[in-house]
Amino acid sequence: MAIKVLMPALSPTMSEGVINKWLVNIGDTVSAGDVLAEIETDKATMEVEAVDEGKITHLIDIASNKQIAVNSVIAIINGDENEKLEDYDTKIEDKKSNQNVDSEIKSKNKNELDIKIKETNTDKDKQIILATPFVKKFSKDNNVDLTLIKGSGPEGRIIKKDIQNFKLQINDENITITEPSSIRKIIAERTTKTKNEVPHFYLTIETRMDKLINLRKKINQNSSIKISFNDLIIKACAMAMFKNPETNLSWVDGKIHQYKNINISIAVALKEGLITPIINNADKKGLSEISTEVKSLVKKANQNKLLPEEYTGGSITISNLGMFGITEFKAIINPPQSSIIAVGSILQKPVSNDGIIELGHTMKSTLSADHRALDGAVAAKLLKDFNDILEDPFQIWLNSFDMEVI
């Protein structure tokens, strides 16, 4: 009996994936649990395992950055070698039927005919490209690869303007055109969608950091685990969320989801884009535990080894660009969360202390909030408590039961 291997949904947000490489070949015999392929999702690289034993009879051809829909058939175990992979995938058959119907409709009007250009080679799967007759003729006469051009016409059809713009680009020796990674594509789609659909408002506060600097210095003098400013900021954010449970929520499909656990996401910059691993139950964890967990998650993120449960969910995100000398910025909310705190660098400058001007250290934090779920006063209270905890950080140490006496 033929066994289908499907493109798995490895995270709640995943709709497509890219097969980086097959680890088996047609004709290989596999057992349940054997790794078949490495799949790049919108967040990380994951492994797909065989669910049963048998002989690999079919593997889907993989092309560079080819997006494959979730639940599509990507391999067959114990299949009929005389059949094609498409014969096992009802989704592909449905797509073919829809394309035939579309072709019959479009053929009624020759002036609006979408020419389907099929290009194949030994390394690439067949691709269907929508283009106008002018574009088809131009690409043939000038040897232009239409797979490099993104169409701006209906349904992504390549029109005259697109090929003219592309011609201008390739004539400029200073321009290098590359295909964005899967993560970069997802970031582009989500940030655009979020910025357009989520009504952001912003609140900024400036915090005196001298006491926090001294606390960190004392902790690191007495502890084998070195604590970063980011560890302290994560703990302070969790404590502020605990004081303001009405901010621990999301707006999902027109309804407000309020959470009991306080899970803090942290923005980690990768070469391919951005990912937000999560410190779960951060309000209940000590600084040593948070610090150890952050280091582990960052390492796994850079190795594309994060599990879905390690980067999905979260109540709020902290994005810290202080290490790059950025003093202040506004971040885009990471849906379905309702807020994100953008943290800048710690600066030394003149400050007022009971009317006396002295040198001190300050840091600016900007809260971006979703106005559908949070009102200004509610969000302001969260940011104010976050500020007060950082300015009186001894309570952070008191709430970290894994800290040594200092």
Amino acid identity for residue 291 in this structure? S
**Is pLDDT larger for residue 225 or for residue 183?**
225
CB 227 within 8 A of CB 306: no
Confidence (pLDDT) at 405: 61
pLDDT band with cut points at 50, 70 and 90 for residue 392: very high
pLDDT band with cut points at 50, 70 and 90 for residue 127: low
The domain spans of the chain are 3-91, 109-179, 184-398
Confidence (pLDDT) at 393: 95
Q: Please tell me the least confidently modeled range out of 62-76, 96-110, 308-322.
A: 96-110
Confidence (pLDDT) at 111: 41
Confidence (pLDDT) at 105: 41
CB 270 within 8 A of CB 226: no
Confidence (pLDDT) at 71: 87
pLDDT band with cut points at 50, 70 and 90 for residue 271: confident
- 200, 257, 361, 371: the catalytic one is 371
17-37 residue pLDDT tens: 888 888 999 999 998 888 898
Sequential DSSP letters for 239-291? HHHHH-GGGSEEEETTEEEE-SS--EEE-EE-SS-EE--EETTGGGS-HHHHH
CB 4 within 8 A of CB 87: no
DSSP-derived 3-state class of residue 66: coil
Q: How far apart are CA 253 and CA 140, in angstroms?
A: 47
Query: What ranges make up the beta strands (E) of 87-199?
Result: 115-119, 127-131
pLDDT band with cut points at 50, 70 and 90 for residue 287: very high
**Is pLDDT larger for residue 397 or for residue 154?**
397
257 is catalytic: no
Rounded average pLDDT over 254-268: 95
pLDDT band with cut points at 50, 70 and 90 for residue 113: very low
Query: What ranges make up the beta strands (E) of 80-219?
Result: 115-119, 127-131, 200-208
The mean pLDDT of the chain is 84
208-237 residue pLDDT tens: 999 999 999 999 998 889 999 999 999 999
Confidence (pLDDT) at 109: 42
User: Is residue 239 pLDDT above 80, yes or no?
Assistant: yes
333-386 residue pLDDT tens: 999 999 999 999 999 999 988 889 999 999 999 999 999 999 999 999 999 999
pLDDT band with cut points at 50, 70 and 90 for residue 98: very low
**pTM value?**
0.65
pLDDT band with cut points at 50, 70 and 90 for residue 182: confident
User: Is residue 323 pLDDT above 90, yes or no?
Assistant: yes
Given CATH 4.10.320.10, say whether it is the number of domain 109-179: yes
Q: What percentage of the chain has pLDDT greater than the value 70?
A: 85
pLDDT band with cut points at 50, 70 and 90 for residue 277: very high
> What pairs with residue 5 in β-bridges?
75
Confidence (pLDDT) at 118: 37
Q: What percentage of the chain has pLDDT greater than the value 90?
A: 48
Confidence (pLDDT) at 123: 41
User: Is residue 205 pLDDT above 50, yes or no?
Assistant: yes
Q: Do domains 3-91 and 184-398 have the same CATH topology?
A: no
φ/ψ bin of 102: left (φ > 0), alpha (ψ from -120 to 50), beta (otherwise): alpha
Rounded average pLDDT over 282-286: 95
CB 66 within 8 A of CB 17: no
**Most confident option among 114-123, 298-307, 365-374:** 365-374
Considering the segment(s) 184-398 as one domain, its CATH architecture is 2-Layer Sandwich (3.30)
**Is pLDDT larger for residue 399 or for residue 127?**
399
CATH annotation of 3-91:
2.40.50.100
User: Is residue 304 pLDDT above 70, yes or no?
Assistant: yes
